[in-house]
Amino acid sequence: MNYGVILNVLGGLLRFLGAIMLVPLFVALYYGDSLYPFLAAVVITGLTGILLSHYYKATDEWKAREGFAIVAFGWLAAAVFGSIPFMVDGFSPINAIFESMSGFTTTGATVLLDIEAHSRSILFWRSMTQWIGGMGIIMLFIAILPKLGVAGRQLFRAEAPGPTEDKIKPRIRETAKILWLVYVFISMIEVIALLLAKMSLYDAITHTFTTMACGGFSPYSQSVASFNSPLIEGIITLFMFISGANFALHYRTLYTDRKSLLKDDEFKFYSLVTVVATLLLTFSLWSDMGETVLTALRYAVFQVVSIMTTTGFATVDFNLWTDSAKIVLLAVMFIGGCAGSTSGGIKVVRFLLLLKYARRALFKSIHPRAVKPIKLNEKTVPDDVMQAIVSFVVIYFMIFAISTGILSLMGIDIISSITSSIATLGNIGPGFGLVGPMANFDAVPFIGKMVLIANMWIGRLEVFTVIVMLTPEFWKR
């Protein structure tokens, strides 16, 4: 393990993060808020980055282990240094790191008791951390800094270790740059759409940040319900759904093949699950809670897309819904969005391939000598990919079970323990019970918050990037 390389690149990442913090500093200046939170953050983050880059030189070629370590510790460093504005603003250290980690990992779980009581610049930074983390701070780092072109592949794989690697260009830096350009382009369209729906510029930008990142932070305690506008809900629903799909397919749809999304097996299954879950939830709200069909459909489509894409916005307190309605939302919590999207969760493609795997197992129980390959988009999926998916799901549910057990042992009720675990591991945000959509995570004890911070970190990096560092072999030279 080349520690000099790791510290050098982390230094560059912190210098980059310090520069980004100038944006909320100017927002604070514009609104007349206190400048100290961001001045302190810029100085401390930037100076630390300069010192690390100066004392540690990256001279050797990077290997996979350095890539994993840089990405894992890079996200931790972003969360820790990104929490400085919150600490200076009066947050306790654990709450500041929780909020920052929730932001950068696009989880959307919050410890804020009264969101509107905080300054606009702090809430802007809170939303901006999600937008940066949505497409990936490491991905942005790769796209901007030329020296990472040689070793960018290791970082790309470590940050987005999905079941398939979907490169747009042969060079990783070019791929990262294109994905970020598509991300910025669609974000600009959403800002314009929300402005046309009579949102203020501040609200349009902050909600676009958190919609495109599938993050869910809002400057208002009542989330999107604050606007009580079907048009705004419709716009946000559309862009949540777009953000939950593969951004490489968005690029191809815009520039090469208009039917790329429609031909993709994962996107078709993603759309099918969304439609079926929406219909089930609509029926439940209509039959069990007496809502009109149109009102039930309005609530259902927004909440299904919000939870399915792991965004976590709310237009209603679904914590008050019947158990049948909650089960639908709980089911889509475990699925998540598409690979290559900004959403979290297990990912649609893994569920699709596991279903195909189960179907093949049933077929081979009848025809044991038959050869029946598993295919995705008409391409055969190698057995090692299927083994990796099974391993991922097993480890994912083990982490979920362990964190649920720890929380329940701390006196948290079982519903809150289950949903807070999956909400943080899947980077969703709200759960049920103590951590419902109109509640927060402030009541979770200190150790519980540490567990949930770890969940957010592990879930954002899709388990393997963090878990692999727990093996003794990883640290051997």
What does 279-348 look like in DSSP terms, one character per residue? Answer: HHHHHHHHHHH---HHHHHHHHHHHHHHHHTT----SS-GGGS-HHHHHHHHHHHTT---TTSS--SS-H
pLDDT at 163: 52
**Using CA atoms, how far apart are residues 326 and 95, in angstroms rounded to an integer?**
28
pLDDT at 152: 47
DSSP 395: H
> What does the pLDDT profile of the chain (477 residues) look like in tens digits?
777 888 888 998 899 899 999 999 999 999 999 999 999 999 999 999 999 988 887 655 667 777 788 888 989 999 999 999 999 999 999 999 999 999 999 999 999 988 999 999 999 999 999 999 888 766 666 655 555 444 445 455 544 545 555 555 556 667 778 888 889 999 999 999 999 999 999 999 999 999 999 999 999 999 999 999 999 999 999 999 999 998 888 888 888 878 888 889 999 999 999 999 999 999 999 998 889 999 999 999 999 999 999 999 999 999 999 999 999 999 999 999 998 888 988 999 999 999 999 998 898 888 888 788 888 888 888 888 888 889 989 999 999 999 999 999 999 999 999 999 999 999 998 999 999 887 789 999 999 999 999 999 999 888 888 888 888 777 776
Could you give the C-alpha distances from 161 to 9, 52, 92, 426, in angstroms and in order? 20, 27, 33, 15
**Using CA atoms, how far apart are residues 450 and 421, in angstroms rounded to an integer?**
12
**Strand residues in 67-127 grouped as ranges (E):** none
Q: Tell me how crowded residue 29 is: count the other CB atoms within 10 A of its CB.
A: 12
**Using CA atoms, how far apart are residues 75 and 267, in angstroms rounded to an integer?**
28
Please state the domain count of the chain: 1
pLDDT at 1: 73
Contact (CB, 8 A) for 434 and 416: yes
394 belongs to a structural domain:
yes
393 belongs to a structural domain:
yes
Burial class (CB in 10 A: 0-12, 13-18, 19+), 430: buried
Domain of residue 444 covers 361-475
415 belongs to a structural domain:
yes
Helix (H) or strand (E) holding 380: strand 379-380
pLDDT at 144: 54
Amino acid at 287: S
Could you give the C-alpha distances from 476 to 453, 466, 469, 470, in angstroms and in order? 27, 16, 11, 12
255 belongs to a structural domain:
no
Q: Which residues contact 404 (CB under 8 A, 6 or more apart)?
A: 414, 417, 418, 421
**Using CA atoms, how far apart are residues 138 and 425, in angstroms rounded to an integer?**
20
309 belongs to a structural domain:
no
411 belongs to a structural domain:
yes
Q: Which residues contact 457 (CB under 8 A, 6 or more apart)?
A: 72, 75, 76, 79, 101, 105, 466
pTM over 0.85? The answer is yes
**Using CA atoms, how far apart are residues 47 and 83, in angstroms rounded to an integer?**
16
**Using CA atoms, how far apart are residues 224 and 233, in angstroms rounded to an integer?**
7
99 belongs to a structural domain:
no
Q: 50 is written with which tokens?
A: 């300069």
Residues in the chain: 477
451 belongs to a structural domain:
yes
Amino acid at 148: L
Contact (CB, 8 A) for 137 and 17: yes
